[in-house]
Chains A and B, each alone.
Chain A
Amino acid sequence: MASYTLDINNKKHQVEVAEGTSLLWVIREHLGLTGTKYGCGIAQCGACTIHVDGEPMKACVLPVNNFSNGEKITTIEGLSENGDHPVQKAWIEAQAPQCGYCHSGQIMQAVNLLEKNPNPSREEIKEHMNGNICRCGTYLRIIKAVELAAQNK
């Protein structure tokens, strides 16, 4: 067991876990930020996508010990105060989620795209979002939501 201090959503959190524990289990099970989801555990589905210093990363394969040195971690809970980030609003407008399980990760991935590229083409959206699986098949609505968010900016 070791003690780690994590900077998540602009708040310091201290956890006692074994070295090598995945950031996903720390965030979800130890800290209760359950908006970030477990889907595959091998960085294949993107349900656990979070931001580390603004870059989207798959929390399920990140060992906690590498992320307690002041890295700024953002989860879906920290994306906006009231769930009103332009991407979240566009997601509601497009009625994108079905079961909703993958959509925290989808949104985190999309936010990063629009930060880097405010007017992505359809092909750029597909390429950027390709690592995030949606089993309910909401891909066309996700594309629509990203396009709406780009327009609404």
Chain B
Amino acid sequence: MKNDLSKPSSINRREFLKSSGGIALFIGASGLFPVLVSCTDEKKLKEQFQKHPVSAWVQLTENGDITIYNPAAEMGQGSMTSLPLIFAEEMDADWSKVQVEFSPQESEIYGSPGWSPDSKLMFTVGSRTTNSYFSTMRKAGAQARYILLDSAAKHWNVPISELKTSNSVISHEGSGKKISYGELIPFLTTPESFPEFTEKEIKKVSDFNLIGKDVPRTEIPSKVNGSAQFAIDVRLPNMVYGVLERGKRHGAKPTLLNDSEILEQPGIIKIVPFDYAIGLVAETLEQALLAKKALKIEWSESTSSGFNSDEIYSDYEKIAAQNEKGDVITEIGDVNDAWRNSSKTYSCDFKNDYVYHAQLEPLNTVIQVSEDLQKAEVWVGSQQGADTKLGVPGILGVPSENVNVHLQYLGGGFGRRSLSDFVEECAVLAKEMAPKPVKLIWTREDDLRYGTYRPMSLQRVKASLDSKGEINSFSHTVVGDGGNLVASGIRNDHYAIPNQFANWLETKHGVRLKHWRSVGHGANKFAIESMLDQIAFDQKIDPVALRRKLMSNSPRALATLEKAVEMSNWTEPSPEGRAKGISFVEHGSLGTGVCEISVDRTTGKIKVHRFWIALDAGIIVQPDNVKAQMEGGIIMGMSSALQERISIVNGEVQQSNFNDYSLLRMEDCPDSIEISLIDSQEHPEGVGETSTPMVAGAISNAFLKLTGKSLTHIPFTPERVLTILNS
């Protein structure tokens, strides 16, 4: 592993290009005029990199090999294939000759359009990767192809309009001449001008050869032979190991009672106190972990002292009853007026306990700080990308460009790795230990207890019917900590209900919180979809018929409903003892899910037998991978809806590891998850978070059909289900 900290970071950008020869195309995202540089011309290559900003998206070699750079984190969602594939599609590259590597972590160069005008982000969150990079990668690929075409036209002295490209070969129909991209390298020149590459000048959807086909994921072979490198796998010469002991009560301050005893433990190099933890550095990991266990720490009270998560729901109910406006998210028409002029009203509270990310690779980072404390190399699996250099420059007090981030594969993200607390901790230790590299590892217990959870929440949902039995109002109050963390997904943009109101009422408990796959959608879609079925059940109408009417103004949403109905044979009765439930979710893409369940009435255990999903995500880049995302999202949704919960007593997290925080295992996975992808030529939408929030609603609606009773508190543990059945 290269680790020379004396050179400026621009060299690191240069080093990522293979020096095996060929040519690099500096094109695309920076908006600069494309430039060709020979990879063997070290001086020129260096000059190009110093002309900030330039961006190399692709490297070609004479033998036809093509390296395309992926700017997004790979956490299992397939970015290592989907983004380069979009580029290769426009370039008409021979995919069998394509290698994929991570781009450098330089957001000015490799960022996608951010949330504000002219901003750029390398932030792998919110299921935005394909959605936000689609146009960027297409344009860059089209520019690469244009350079090749223009060079061939000059080489053969024929008009560019007479040339065609296919599978890395340019052909001229009139003369029958052909030349491969690799063979063309000696004749490449930079064109005098470039087309704009508007929608009309790039490929038509119907001409796609790679997008929409089942191209195997590029990094999977490395994930079945053990060679895929995660940050936790990084080993450097002279590396030492860091661990932290953090409190079970978030924010509690430690007082270490046995420092001298700890310093005498074998291999212990240093004790590094943090506000909320005691850090240890040792020669080996096992020495660090042994000493961690021997720490005697007195913990202070914190803002979460006295907080009991199971008891707090009664306070939440009182808050919801106060009719405060809070933060208003939706206000359409007048729900109060509609409520007064209604023929029937419904009201129900839904509850959701805290859930934990449980990404299988515990948090970790490797950092080496230079001896003069001015530079740092960071090896990390992060969703946050390069925008902030993960907080490391602030800790070292150095400019951002002095910190170089080497992105590794992420052993799961789910939102947890969009926070850089673990990187900052490692930077503190690495600064102490400079120039020795430090590998910081969170144990599973650390990762769980000092987690950043999906917040608990209470949803008070009210709906009313007019004299014709149509839903004329829908109001939804969410009570909980974390703003958008509890409020996302509360809107009903695809349900035509004339009077709607949604608001958030804040609580605070000092418990650490963060985006968790689908964020607030998990709890809010559960509440919305369950309320619709409660109305349908009471009115003795088909839940599908009810939604069909509500979706009258949203043809794309309706198409997913109709497809899911068809796939699941909705109108056919389920086998004895089973029932189906339906749920609709929008999270960028639109999806309707149907599940079939049974309930063991003696244990209270819910079994999900089958799941069907119809999804409209616009243009689908990798259909099989989108299906994989749907499948995984359903399993994670089932795990959280049926069994996962963090509970807090007197501010202390009660769970510690997978023995008492239960994740769904293979014995409980459904027999099948069938997915239908709806044909579309619309811009791609995110798919990573659409299926997870379908699950709780679909299960609770199936349960209502099966038992006549409503499940209103996630997770639907056997104990809770038994209580409902016996009520």
Contact = CB atoms under 8 A, between A and B. Distances in A.
A117 interface: no
Interface SS majority for chain A? loop
Interface string A69-85: 00000011101101100
Contacts of B285: 25, 29
A118 interface: no
Interface size class of A (residues with CB under 8 A): 35 or more
Contacts of A40: 444, 657-658
A39 B363 CA distance: 10
Interface string A115-144: 000000000011101111111111111110
Interface residues of B, number: 65
B362 A38 contact: yes
B533 to A, nearest CB: 25
B675 to A, nearest CB: 11
Nearest to B359: A135
B411 A92 contact: no
A137 B632 contact: yes
Interface string A24-41: 010011101111111111
Interface string A44-82: 110100000000000000000000000000011101101
Nearest to B665: A130
Contacts of A143: 666, 669
A92 B220 contact: yes
Nearest to B637: A137
B444 A99 contact: no
Given A37-B361, A83-B224, A134-B360, A97 B666 contact: no
Contacts of A36: 226
Contacts of A96: 220, 224
A100 B659 contact: no
Contacts of B461: none
B140 to A, nearest CB: 26
A62 to B, nearest CB: 13
Contacts, number: 184
B508 interface: no
Contacts of A136: 76, 360, 412, 632, 635-636
A32 B1 CA distance: 13
A77 B631 contact: no
Interface string B650-669: 00000001110001111101
A98 B657 contact: no
A48 to B, nearest CB: 11
Interface centre among B632, B636, B666, by most A CB within 10 Å? B666
A21 interface: yes
A98 B230 CA distance: 13
A83 B628 contact: no
Interface string A87-126: 0100110011111111110010000000000000000011
A35 B77 contact: no
B226 A104 contact: yes
Given A34-B229, A45-B658, A136-B76, A99 B235 contact: no
B286 A18 contact: yes
B444 A135 contact: no
B193 to A, nearest CB: 42
Contacts of A32: 235
A148 interface: no
A5 interface: no
B227 interface: yes
Contact of B220 (A29, A41, A100): A100
Given A45-B658, A92-B224, A138-B631, A126 B76 contact: no
A25 B285 CA distance: 7
A137 B631 contact: yes
Instruction: Enumerate the 8 nearest inter-chain pairs by beta-carbon distance, A residue then B residue, closest first.
Output: A35-B226, A137-B635, A98-B76, A100-B223, A101-B411, A83-B225, A99-B76, A76-B226
Interface of A: 17-18, 21-22, 25, 28-30, 32-42, 44-45, 47, 75-77, 79-80, 82-83, 88, 91-92, 95-104, 107, 125-127, 129-143
Interface of B: 75-78, 216-217, 219-230, 232-233, 235, 241, 266, 284-287, 358-362, 409-414, 441, 443-445, 624-625, 628-629, 631-636, 639, 657-659, 663-667, 669-670, 672-673
Given A82-B225, A135-B663, 13 more contacts: A28-B233, A34-B229, A39-B658, A42-B658, A83-B224, A95-B217, A97-B76, A98-B76, A103-B224, A127-B667, A130-B667, A132-B666, A142-B666
